[in-house]
Chain A
């Protein structure tokens, strides 16, 4: 049985006729211990989905089942086992980090409350800012506190909306490691939205790609990236640049220049033929590197649609 089962979820804002459909009949599952990424361009409907999964936005139709139980009918029981962190929400500004963690802990049934808060403080390295008011923290520190808050009740399901936004690379890496560790140790199921494609590629087992409120892809990061055929060939050309540009224009091969490099988008299977041909017409290159398609390429390709 999946931990979360979403069936035919629809969210329409405004009147039935002429309103705006933000989420259009989407269905997906989240398995125990799975990390699922929800990706999509701005306005695709990701945050709307997250809000409905949290029970803070009423779906127009469809069903959300956690642990086999309907969210609407079993709200209290279900929300006791889930938590979330988002860049779009704040904890009370005037309260200190410690006060926020304490009052939030009372919203849940937390066993050995003080011990749990101390553990969270330790995990998220909040000791130095514990007595500072939220309004005096940097955006990176706020993100860390929000994340710490989401672990306060040892959730079975975590919903993370842009969890590493505003974090410096070192802390972002720490958070990614932490999520992977929590999943491994406690079989926490995680849904994450992010604009950091490398992050999503690194931590997610599966990705749902949403555009205009619809799921247009549901696959592993590797398989999604594989659907993009073009690779990037980076060439540092020593001689014959004009000839090379003429050749590419004649063969309608797209390219761009970045610094000393000419970056060519070309189907992977055509690379060897391409290199042979440009060598034959007198192009001499000093360096070459080939970048395989990534999730970012997939994202850019689909976002253009």
Chain B
């Protein structure tokens, strides 16, 4: 892998970011809307039931951590789509750029984007509700890393589908991860789900991550078993996702990158 080629893709993203107000808007606008809506809703529930003061912590931490996984996945998928929309894949792959370098750049972009989303949402949460998620610091770090990995593997699967079926399925870039949200126990414990949904939930690393993070937010200690299960599942899906994405790329090379629009 050559750093200068990975840098080329990141540089293109930074240029794009500078020109695209939607992307800047996404960083500022959505965390504010999510935190306002969910924060106010949880304040209302707290007023109805003052015996459950942790409700606001649980909801706000859920919102902030969900942004990490959502934007991580979104950036991997949307940047792949950008190259399709721009018919830019031939420019990229007629250069010495390797598939692994292209994907590495997306992962780094996803990481940066997740970190920015986390930071912005944390600032909003503090300003609006005096909620300091950073207080949970190192205990949340393993879950933060695993959430980024979850964003990546979902991004791989979505990217693989888009490469195979083209822009006809481009809406998946923004919606695929939302499908996982109800099973990921973002705002509620897994036990609240119906039995069949719990089975699905058990297969998702995100459900262990959110459950584990919630435990920390509510004052319990870090459950390393949850971290371990989530890590194993994340690595498994990441590997499968990468293979799927790579095979999709090889398949499209057989059809020709020019046909991929």
Q: Could you list which residues of chain A lie within 8 angstroms of chain B, going by C-beta atoms?
A: 13, 47-48, 51, 54-58, 75-77, 79-80, 82-84, 86, 88-96, 99, 102-109, 133, 149
Query: Which chain A residue has the least Cβ–Cβ distance from B95?
Result: A107
Chain B interface helix/strand/loop/mixed: helix
Do A94 and B16 touch across chains, with their CB atoms under 8 A apart?
Answer: yes
Instruction: Give Cα A47 to B259, complex, Å.
Output: 11
Do A92 and B258 touch across chains, with their CB atoms under 8 A apart?
Answer: no
- A79 contact set on B, CB distance < 8 A: 94-96
Instruction: Give Cα A88 to B253, complex, Å.
Output: 17
Instruction: Give Cα A92 to B89, complex, Å.
Output: 10
Mark interface residues in B1-43 (1 if CB within 8 Å of A CB, else 0). 0001101110110011001100000000000000000000000
- A108 contact set on B, CB distance < 8 A: 95-96
Question: Which of B8, B98, B256 touches A103 (beta carbons < 8 Å)?
Answer: B8
Instruction: Give Cα A92 to B17, complex, Å.
Output: 12
Q: A54-B90, A90-B88 provided; 9 other pairs, C-beta below 8 A? A: A47-B258, A51-B258, A55-B93, A56-B256, A83-B94, A89-B87, A105-B8, A108-B95, A109-B4
Do B94 and A56 touch across chains, with their CB atoms under 8 A apart?
Answer: yes
Do A56 and B11 touch across chains, with their CB atoms under 8 A apart?
Answer: no
Do A56 and B4 touch across chains, with their CB atoms under 8 A apart?
Answer: no
Instruction: Give Cα A93 to B12, complex, Å.
Output: 11
Do A58 and B253 touch across chains, with their CB atoms under 8 A apart?
Answer: yes
Do A89 and B11 touch across chains, with their CB atoms under 8 A apart?
Answer: no
- B258 contact set on A, CB distance < 8 A: 47, 51, 56-57, 88-89
Interface size on B, residues (CB 8 A): 32
B22 to chain A, nearest CB (A): 10
Is residue B97 within 8 Å, beta carbon to beta carbon, of the partner chain?
Answer: yes
Q: A13-B255, A51-B256, A95-B16 are in contact. Are A90 and B92 (CB under 8 A)?
A: no
B151 to chain A, nearest CB (A): 23
Instruction: Give Cα A8 to B97, complex, Å.
Output: 27
Instruction: Give Cα A109 to B96, complex, Å.
Output: 9
Q: A92-B16, A95-B15, A106-B11 are in contact. Are A57 and B94 (CB under 8 A)?
A: no
- A57 contact set on B, CB distance < 8 A: 253-258
- B5 contact set on A, CB distance < 8 A: 106-107
Instruction: Give Cα A89 to B8, complex, Å.
Output: 18
- B94 contact set on A, CB distance < 8 A: 54-56, 79, 82-84
Give residues 60-84 of B contacting A (CB, 8 Å). 82
B205 to chain A, nearest CB (A): 34
Do B86 and A103 touch across chains, with their CB atoms under 8 A apart?
Answer: no
Instruction: Give Cα A120 to B253, complex, Å.
Output: 31
Instruction: Give Cα A297 to B255, complex, Å.
Output: 34
Is residue B220 within 8 Å, beta carbon to beta carbon, of the partner chain?
Answer: no
The 4 closest A-B pairs by CB, nearest first: A106-B8, A107-B95, A54-B94, A57-B256
